[in-house]
Amino acid sequence: KPMSNGIWQESFELENLDLTELRQVRRALAALRNDVWYADVQVFDNADDGERRAQAFVVHRDALARMIERHESFWSPWGITPCTHPAEIVAIVDRMPKSDRWRGYGHLFGYPDDAVDFFVRAGIAAEDGREIGPGKDREFMQIPTRAADTGRFTYAVPIDHVPTSVDRALRKNAGIILAAYERRRPNMTSEADMIEMLLELNDRFEHLSPHG
């Protein structure tokens, strides 16, 4: 999965700025900035009712680079290559026109290509005023995470979608990695232990990819 987010999120008032928590989160995420991952806080471009949202994200550098190379025709017009800094990529995607933004986030979150295509088509349909939503034009593929079995790593598919080989591989690989993490989690008693064990898991499972 090239990118995960939602581990922390907050909004801050533009007229009464207090970025103390944001600075603290950025400092805490420094532990996940190395040759394998890049973690930071994304501050969204759009403001709503005088507030701007921010959320933490973690990028797996190699998975991100492989995804960008695989979808070169989409990323190249934006000047994005496999060596572009993750923070720059995230900032560019946030400011893309809607359909490109939907596609960009779909690729970043590691959704299968056909699910990304559906996500974009559904967004365009909603813009055109067509009726969409669960049970109307879509259902959801749910992949369990440590935080929850549903609602965290999830993507929309057409109703009566038959899982593809990519869907099955994604779910299987995620389950293998999650089980290995759960076995080691009780031994992660310090930041150093956590990073060491996460790096070991990465070395063990980095070859897994639903795309082969």
Cα distances (Å, whole numbers) of residue 108 to 14, 136, 193 = 28, 26, 28
Residue 137, helix vs strand vs coil: coil
Give the 3-state DSSP-derived string for 125-137, with helices as H, strands as E and coil as C: HHHCCCCCCECCC
pLDDT score recorded for residue 162 = 96
Task: Give 184-209 pLDDT, tens digit per residue.
Answer: 999 999 999 999 999 999 999 987 77
Among left, alpha and beta (phi > 0; psi -120 to 50; other), residue 154 is beta
Q: Domain segments of the chain: what residues? A: 1-96, 111-212
Of residues 152, 211, 143, 154, the one with CA closest to residue 177? 143
Look at residue 211 and tell me whether its pLDDT is greater than 70: no
Which residues have C-beta within 8 Å of that of residue 87, sequence separation ≥ 6? 38, 40
Phi, psi of 112, rounded to the nearest 5 degrees: -60, 155
pLDDT score recorded for residue 79 = 98
- State which amino acid sits at residue 154: T
Task: Give 69-90 pLDDT, tens digit per residue.
Answer: 999 999 999 999 999 999 999 9
Q: Give the pLDDT band of residue 19 (cuts 50, 70, 90).
A: very high
What pTM value is reported for the model?
Answer: 0.92
Task: Give 170-188 pLDDT, tens digit per residue.
Answer: 999 999 999 999 999 999 9
Look at residue 144 and tell me whether its pLDDT is greater than 70: yes
86 is written with which tokens? 């993750």
In the predicted model, what is the mean pLDDT of the chain? 94
pLDDT score recorded for residue 87 = 98
Detail the DSSP E strand segments found in the chain: 3-13, 37-48, 51-60, 138-143, 153-158
